[in-house]
Amino acid sequence: MSEPSQFEALITYLAKSLVDRPDQVVVRPTSVEGSRIYELQVAPEDVGKVIGRDGRTVNAMRTLLAAAAQRKGEKARLEILDDRRLAARNAVPPAGPEGPPPSDVP
Domain boundaries, the chain: 6-87
In this predicted structure, what is the pLDDT of residue 34?
87
In this predicted structure, what is the pLDDT of residue 105?
57
Any idea which architecture 6-87 has in CATH? 2-Layer Sandwich (3.30)
Question: Model-level pTM?
Answer: 0.75
Distance CA 57, CA 27 (A): 17
In this predicted structure, what is the pLDDT of residue 5?
87
Mean pLDDT by 10 residues, the chain (106 residues): 79 96 95 92 95 96 95 94 68 55 56
Listed residue (46, 28, 26, 24) closest to 37, CA to CA:
28
Listed residue (1, 59, 73, 65) closest to 37, CA to CA:
65
